[in-house]
Chains A and B, each alone.
Chain A
Amino acid sequence: MVMTVEQKAPETSSQQPRTGALTKAGAGKRTKGRTALFGALGTLGFLVLWEIVVVFGLLPRNNLPGASETLIRSVGLLADPVFLGHVGSTVAVSFLGLGIAFVIAVPLGLLLGISNAAFALASTVVELLRPLPPIAFVPLAVLIAGQGTEMKAAIVALGCVWPLLTNVIHGVHETDSVAKSTGRSFGWSRSTVIRRVVWPSAVPALITGVRITVSISLILCVGAEYIGGSTQGLGSWLLQQSMQPQGMQAVTAGVVIAGVLGVLVNAIVAGLDRRYAAWARRGEK
């Protein structure tokens, strides 16, 4: 059975002049500045539009708070210990689940990548388990582990383990065979070749896996909070607020903060990628 790998298309930034080769040399800075300016204008335009839509009541149900109101409330929420506690819970559980998946997927992926026999034995089972929607197992996890951290972390781990596993296997399989032969020509043992050649080659694929799974982990954690009926976490907090009269302002402000949180997490992982996988991305534009 062929393993298909979940891969993220390489990130592209918007500053690539596509005109002649000659414009590339100096135009980078100017384009970058313009991109930032246009981006700021676009965002501002969106906020103004939002405000107008709300002020003039252009929505069918007039219960969306305006942009200014929402942003002010968002800033207020950042100083609200109760809210921060819920956000902290979501982040902590997501990373716990991701960590569990990592600890399982990396050794297993190396084993399945290196050993043909292990791969032949396990690949069908992996292919059968991988498409299972992790969210389907929330009720079972609630029965076994309750509605708290353990249940949510287990669901996150279940969803994150497959992208990590397939990416590690893919990374090992993609190891340059010339590099492996070079290692062997130095008289290195099998384990030394694995440590010095195979593992470093697999790291960029692993980081790609992490890039995919950080977003998945947050999504699954919030999903598990709802479905599992958890009382802790951003999702639970939002659901509670939405049931209160005039709760919409808090909900919208919370969503804005959730987006900012997502952007931050993505930026951290993109930084990791630049630090540890730059060599493998050299061919990508």
Chain B
Amino acid sequence: MTEALLVVDGLRHVYQTEEGEHVVLDGLSLTVNRGEFVSIVGPSGCGKTTLLRALSGLLKPTSGTVSLAGEAINGVPKGLAMVFQDYRGSLFPWRKVGANVEFPLLGRVGAEERRNRVRESLEAVGLENFAGRYPWQLSGGMQQRVAIARAIAMRPQLMLMDEPFASVDAQTRSDLEDLVLRVRELYDMTILFVTHDVDESVYLSDRVLSLSKSPTVLTADTAVPLPVPRDQIRSRENPVFVSTRSEIAQLIRRAKPAGLYGPGEAIPTTSNFAVPVLR
């Protein structure tokens, strides 16, 4: 039941700058189980993007290990899809919508299978009639749906989403949130979702991981005991939603860089649900 899919152990990343070393990730460990929806929240500049780049193999961390389904990651692993925040930058303007969705499958999957997967993925995000358009002819929300369809088409074990809805308007955003939940249900997918929006993380997730400011460590691991299926109105009115959200919000507001916690000082976790993470 709780099979660990993604295991991150002691992840540390240091950028070399003119002024010396800049520690972004300072020994971060976390686990995502198969079938789980886990969100990562943290104050801005806390190294969320660095973490996700390390997980997706785009960046080689200074030390620590990442493994997916028991295999250590070195480079971009099989079975991983990523949805970027910047949909404009991740969809190729010279490829039509269908061809963009098809892109990761080229040379790997037969033509027939490719066609089927493209159609199916576009149907899953409700864009089956837009395969022949160029992505830039669509609205921002629709473009992000194309990016999600492309991720689905890869049939990934793990889908990484890097603040995917940060640049769309509020209404589109809640539509996309429900779309992601639906897709997850449909394909039984494991999702690691990075956001700076606490409400969004609570609404979507089974578990929310909070990060400290840079140098970043994990400060809390909060379960979200909200009933499923979630609903934009009712779930957000649920007292559990309200209390969980305020717990996490406080954690983030008080978050300080890892080095500033004294040796005996407890990392703040006042939540009923939050489990303190020991360093």
Contact = CB atoms under 8 A, between A and B. Distances in A.
Direct A–B contact present (CB less than 8 angstroms): yes
Contacts of B15: 19-20, 22-23
Contacts of B50: 20
A20 to B, nearest CB: 6
A26 interface: yes
Contact of A25 (B17, B24, B59): B17
B22 A22 contact: yes
B19 interface: yes
A19 to B, nearest CB: 8
A147 B59 CA distance: 64
Given A20-B50, A22-B24, A29 B17 contact: no
A26 B19 contact: yes
A30 B24 contact: no
A22 B18 CA distance: 10
Contacts of B19: 26
Query: Chain A: interface secondary structure?
Result: helix
Contacts of A22: 15, 17, 22, 24
Interface residues of A, number: 9
Interface in A22-54: 22-23, 25-27, 29-30
A137 B22 CA distance: 64
B16 interface: yes
Q: Assign chain B's interface to a size class.
A: under 10
Nearest to A26: B18
Contacts of B16: 23
A30 B22 CA distance: 17
Interface string B168-204: 0000000000000000000000000000000000000
A30 B18 contact: yes
Nearest to A20: B15
A30 B50 CA distance: 24
Interface string B50-74: 1000000001000000000000000
Contact of B18 (A19, A20, A29): A29
Interface in B19-48: 19, 22, 24
A22 B13 CA distance: 12
B74 to A, nearest CB: 19
A20 B59 CA distance: 10
A29 B19 CA distance: 12
A6 B117 CA distance: 43
Nearest to A25: B17
Q: Please list the 7 inter-chain residue pairs (A to B) with the smallest Cβ-Cβ separation, ordered nearest first.
A: A26-B18, A22-B15, A26-B17, A26-B19, A27-B18, A22-B22, A20-B15
Interface of B: 15-19, 22, 24, 50, 59
11 contacts: A19-B15, A20-B15, A22-B22, A23-B17, A25-B18, A26-B17, A26-B18, A26-B19, A27-B17, A27-B18, A30-B18
Given A23-B16, A26-B18, A27-B17, 7 more contacts: A19-B15, A20-B50, A20-B59, A22-B15, A26-B17, A26-B19, A29-B18
